[in-house]
Structure 1
């Protein structure tokens, strides 16, 4: 039996159909009753069509009870509630998870600077980048498992396990004294925990919102930049006063208190039909050219998108642009810009299309990175941080919405997200260390090369996403997607 607040989807409801047209049946009393009960599928948009496709797959001679079985949700025109206390509590829970996952990942620049100067000063910048990269990569790669598990109804199990691992890793990081300990606790333990909870926390919002899906995803994702604005300042103030260990534990206790919210309130609204076998790969995606191009474009963009977050502090210190005490605030400026970049672009995405906003954000991010090469003043670096935070924040936050918009059958949306996140995770794990290797001991030339590499990945990713946009237009003659 589903728990309170959840509704079980019958096999008839989950059944998929690739034809979006309405079947014609003979007239009669039963057919008139059927017409009164069923929505007008001729006016249904592709992403709202799962219900209509399921209706059309029913035997016309089925008794009325079979029709009522496919209506576990009330509204004929839109089965999604689009609001209400329960729906907005899911957004709040997703916001907290963004704080505890991407918020920590995006704050790694503060840890990297401390490791370089104090705790692990004998290790190279490239070695230390592997910790943050592994953390971000596992967040993505674990999505290949978390996506199908979410589709199969294991949301609560992943929520508990993921939050436990994130908190365990954060507390263990406070006790670390060697590189391999940091790699295990901060890189692997936190990374796996983040991967188990982040994708499901984003996917669940599609059960509560449709028309404003991108917008609410944007609101939920603001947890990440807010955390990346607050956490660096918190750590920067606490480390000199109480030491690295207790400063990290204070952060862990804050995360523990916040974790109560998703544990108490987040619930699946609909459960899949029992007995369904979930695959790690949606085979239909392998024949979907726009989706495949989107995967390639996002892979290239995420290859270099975190170079700025990981290295802006070290860059400012190397060129004497900012003091060691002020440098953590540069990560904060990135976070402040990202807050704007996760709300406004996602609002626009619901109006003009998610893929359009995603490709434009990637192109702008690439151009900003090229502009970063010539910045040697504090004011210029702050301006870059705010602008790049906004554009890169849009790339990160719009990507899940774009994946949903390119998934005709929402029953496999978690699986497709997992496929995209897995490929993206590979790029995230190798991207920043490559930048660190380019910087190396090459002085100013190394910094120019690393930043140019960052801009190239984002700009090329934007061009591939533009190609996906053109292919999609050729298929449906519609620029909005």
Structure 2
């Protein structure tokens, strides 16, 4: 990948509008994904299919979101983040709109899974990378604010989606979700470029080819980091899809079940903001903090089946939400620490592509375990085990036990050494 001359990150100014754009995209992408358990229950009942088959709807969407990471990176390199995110916002809304006319699960796989998933891919990577490019000293906190939209939106969307389903049935509810998703176009318009898009590649396909030929694919720390999140993503999204139906099977009504996800979303919001704020102020390496919160997220998922009563299940959901939220900004800022800011757009894209394999099988595996065991106990235990395994893999990163804390000077040295 050709080197790109980047202006110095302003650490503020219009960067806060870029953070707002990131906040909106995380709200309208992951807020929707994480609240889709409401529709999961409706799809199982309407189409009369097993949980494993219905789980593919969300799983395909998440996998396409991540698999399309390199494509969105290449397009953003050529044309800039703004038009790419705006196009993605349109596709995500269109997919939801077409899904409202679905007559089979295959229709949902194509509309929500493929089309909306592609739209989410075009939105997510450029939005997160833009925040990383606008900030240096306050990057972790800015990224935490940008991705905190998922928590706030999930708090509102879970009961809202249930209300929409009760009022308009699932088809009408999906039409409303489509209208909400089209607001991603406006969010993309906020992404003012920091410098000009690269002009030394002939086309987006050349940029994509350059990305795959970059040293990233031979960079051992990057490959270990990405492999960690293949394991993490295999379990990470399982509660988003199956916590609501799990609560329903325990005998709680639909609004109690939706409120569990909403409460976890509030805890997620606090986890993202509080932990990212602390990460910029404490003398602790990001990768060490990431290891801790990845382990705790997995542990909280393993404990979810112990929630036999509503208060206990609520407490466990809150613990899961806080821990799961905490690791998100640490993941992306940890990547920037490892490969340098100049490669963060391509690095996020490649990492997301590799993660897609875990996201693709996670929810269907969980649904399959539920179908053969009769409940979600094994589903949550296995999902949590994947995250715990990922936290252990982080120990194998080179210089993991070094006590040095990331700094701007160290990051630039890392990037120069990497580019050489």
Q: TM-score, normalised by structure 2?
A: 0.89
Change (3 A) 1:260 1:417: closer
Quote the Cα distance in structure 2 between the aligned partners of 1:116 and 1:425.
24
CA deviations 1:403-460 (Å, max 9, x no partner) are: 111113x33221111111111111101111111111114224xx32212101110100
Alignment-derived partner of residue 395 in structure 2: 466
CA distance in 2, matches of 1:201, 1:186: 21
Partner of 1:21: none
Q: Distance in 1 between matches of 2:35 and 2:84?
A: 24
1:101 aligns with one of 29, 35, 39:
29
Match of 1:14 in 2: 4
- How do 1:310-325 and structure 2 match up within 5 A? 310-320=241-251, 322-325=252-255
Whole-Å Cα distance in 2 between the matches of residues 356 and 203 of structure 1? Answer: 22
**Within 5 A, what are the aligned runs for 1:344-423?**
344-351=274-281, 352-408=284-340, 410-423=341-354
**1:282 Cα deviation after fit:** 5.6
Counterparts in 2 of 1:286 and 1:240: CA distance versus 1, 3 Å: closer
Are 1:264 and 2:189 an aligned pair? yes
Contact 1:473–1:479, Cα closer than 8 Å, also in 2: no
Alignment partners' CA distance in 2, 1:323 and 1:273: 53
Whole-Å Cα distance in 1 between the matches of residues 334 and 39 of structure 2? 32
Q: Unaligned 5+ residue runs, structure 1?
A: 1-10, 16-50, 52-72, 74-78
Query: How far apart are residue 160 of structure 1 and its match?
Result: 2.4
**What RMSD over aligned residues (CA atoms) do the two structures have, in Å?**
2.1
Superposed counterparts of 1:41-56, under 5 Å: none
The 2-side partners of 1:149 and 1:311 are apart by: 34
What secondary structure, in the 3-state scheme, does the structure 2 residue paired with 1:327 have?
Answer: helix
How far the C-alpha of 1:82 sits from its partner, in A, is: 1.1
**How many residue pairs align between the two structures?**
398
**Residue 6 of structure 1 aligns with which residue?**
none
Higher helix share: 2
1:243-282 map, 5 Å: 243-256=169-182, 258-259=183-184, 261-276=186-201, 278=207, 279-281=210-212
CA contact (8 A) 1:102 1:224 kept: yes
**Distance (Å, rounded) in 2 between the aligned partners of 1:263 and 1:306:** 25
Structure of higher RCO (CA pairs closer than 8 Å, 6+ residues apart)? 2
The 2-side partners of 1:432 and 1:395 are apart by: 20
The structure with the largest alpha-carbon Rg is: 1
Unaligned segments of structure 2, at least 5 residues: 408-420
1:427 aligns with 2:353: no
